Amino acid sequence: MKIFKIENKGKASWGVDYRDPLTGKRKRRVIGQNKKGATKVLSKIDTEITEKGYFEDRKLINKSFTDVKDEYMTQEIRNIKKKYPQYDEYILNQFMEFTPLGKNKIKELNVPEVDIEVVEQYKAFRAGRVAHSTVDRELNVIRHFMRFAKSKRYIRDNPFPDVKLFREDLNRVVYFEPDEVERLLNACDSSDCQSKHLKPIVTISLNTGLRPITLLNLKWNDVDFVGRFIYTGTTKNGHKLTVHMNSDVREALENWKVVSVDNRDNWQNDYIFKSRSGKPFKHVRKSYYNAIRRAGLDSKGADFYSLRHTFCSQLAKSTKDLNLVKEAAGHKRLDMTLRYIHLAEDYKKDSIEGMYKKKGVRNPAEI
């Protein structure tokens, strides 16, 4: 925030330079030939932004939640940084079907009517049905939508600064032991399993640790069978991840390619796991939980994400190298990886035991 000077044919004009707090866009406005006047205007802008959070008398544009959602999704699809806009649309459609107390469904409301009470009711409603971490992810999508609505002047205030998210329990990890993995794969391969895509999906997840949304959005041209790599593009946390294919993953993909591709042309740009409409699966929860039951496994907390936990857990136990786990899983923060340190019970013991016996170094206690 500053004043600036422009000279034209020997005459000087003064203006103000600041950022609009609603849109974040830079604004430059010529005030006049008086430097003091420009300084006073800049001071007024600073006061208005501090006290009200906006400058100028902005009139709100009254729009329905449904119309704003359509506008938001159009922008999201154009935004190349948003790799999975369909996930946002799924969450918002789900939110729009919710009916707050004393009101109509959210899809029948105008955006200003979706206040903090509505959001808190939805938060409590979802918390009774899904994990807290899932609620947090849904609320983050809605928060981003409401921020968009504010930038377009559809609402005066975003209710989300006063909405507290649940804290995800980073120590709660549900994973499978090797014998349970074998039972699960057998259940996926049994004659009772009608979903032929389930076994390759579970096999890939167990051997790569890919997040479900990343795995289900893979295309055939993301797979390098010669170099034995899978290129995921931009993942959930914004990183590009290259995953090595072991023999199990390669075999699963080659077998599935025979089943799904046949002799069609231009299949390289197809999604590997897709519906009849050609779109990628949003999830495989129903077939997955059926396989869990057939395998005789405890389904409590064992959601599809447990396959990723299993990959990270078994890798931590076999290598005792948390940096390797962090890199293989594509974790952005180390604390996400540290969830698995307690699974390798001998991690610290093996490190401490005989640490002075390497390379001929004597134990100081024996000196």
Bridge partners, 280 (sequence order): 274
Among 174, 93, 92, 101, residue whose Cα is nearest residue 131:
174
CA end-to-end span of the chain, whole Å? Answer: 67
Is the CA virtual torsion 238, 240, 245, 250 positive or negative? Answer: positive
Task: Output the pTM of the full model.
Answer: 0.57
Tell me, rounded to whole angstroms, the distance of Cα 180 from its chain centroid: 28
Q: What are phi and psi of 61, to 5 degrees?
A: -100, 115
Return the structure tokens found at 338.
Answer: 């540290």
CA dihedral 262, 249, 298, 165 (to 10 degrees): -100
DSSP string, 98-129: ---TTS--GGGSBGGG--HHHHHHHHHHHHTT
Spell out the per-residue pLDDT of the chain, length 367, in tens.
Answer: 788 888 877 788 888 888 776 666 778 888 888 888 888 888 887 777 665 555 444 567 888 999 999 988 887 655 545 556 778 888 999 999 999 888 899 999 999 888 888 888 898 888 888 878 788 889 888 988 988 888 888 887 777 777 787 765 555 678 899 999 999 999 998 867 678 899 999 999 999 999 888 899 999 999 999 999 999 875 555 567 788 999 999 999 999 998 888 667 778 888 999 888 888 888 888 899 999 999 998 877 788 888 998 998 888 888 878 888 888 888 877 777 777 776 655 555 665 666 565 555 554 444 4
Burial tier of 191 (Cβ tally within 10 Å: 0-12, 13-18, 19+): exposed
> Own/partner pairs for 122-130, CB < 8 Å, 24+ apart?
122/95, 122/98, 123/163, 125/98, 127/166
Residue 2 exposure: Cα atoms within 13 Å on the Cβ side: 2
Distance CA 314, CA 322 (A): 11
Half-sphere exposure of 289 (CA within 13 A, CB side): 8
Strands 11-19 and 229-234, sheet pairing: unpaired
Does residue 172 contact residue 305 with C-beta atoms inside 8 Å?
no
Q: Which of 271, 266, 255, 282 is nearest to 196 (CA)?
A: 255
Instruction: State the Cα–Cα distance between residues 297 and 288, nearest whole angstrom.
Output: 12
Q: Is the CB of residue 69 less than 8 Å from the CB of residue 145?
A: yes
